[in-house]
C-alpha cells in the first residue's frame, strides 16, 4: 500500500455498512459518515482556537440541515422504509 493511500485511509476511513442493503440506505450512510468526519474537523479546529465557537456552531448547524434534508429526500424512516 502506498504512503498516499495509507494517509487517505487514515484521514478518510470508510466502514462497512451492516444495515439493510438498499440504495437509499447506502447513500444516507455515506452522507452520515461524511457528516461525522466534518464535525470532527470542526470540533478540532474550534478546540485548538483556530475557529471561533460561533462559526463552528453555524457550520455544524448547516451540516445538520444538509443531512436532515438528505434523509428526507431519500425517504429514510418514512412509511416503513
Per-residue pLDDT of the chain (81 residues; tens, 9 = 90+): 678 877 777 766 666 778 788 999 999 999 999 999 999 999 999 999 999 999 999 999 999 999 999 999 999 988 654
**Residue 80 belongs to a domain:** no
**Residue 43 belongs to a domain:** yes
**Total domain count, the chain:** 1
**Residue 65 belongs to a domain:** yes
Report how far apart, in Å, the C-alpha atoms of 13 and of each of 5, 30, 36, 48 are.
11, 11, 11, 23
Report d(CA 46, CA 43) in Å as an integer: 5
The H or E element containing residue 28 is: helix 23-47
Domain range enclosing 41: 22-72
Determine the longest span between alpha carbons in the chain, in angstroms. 46
pLDDT of amino acid 78: 81
pLDDT of amino acid 12: 67
**Nearby residues of 19 by Cβ (< 8 Å), 6 or more positions away:** 25, 29
Amino acid at each position: 500500500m502506498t504512503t498516499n493511500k495509507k494517509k487517505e485511509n487514515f484521514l478518510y476511513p470508510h466502514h462497512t455498512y451492516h444495515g439493510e442493503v438498499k440504495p437509499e440506505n447506502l447513500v444516507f450512510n455515506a452522507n452520515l459518515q461524511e457528516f461525522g468526519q466534518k464535525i470532527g474537523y470542526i470540533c478540532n479546529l474550534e478546540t485548538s482556537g483556530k475557529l471561533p465557537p460561533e462559526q463552528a456552531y453555524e457550520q455544524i448547524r448547516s451540516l445538520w440541515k444538509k443531512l436532515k434534508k438528505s434523509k428526507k429526500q431519500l425517504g429514510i424512516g418514512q412509511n416503513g422504509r
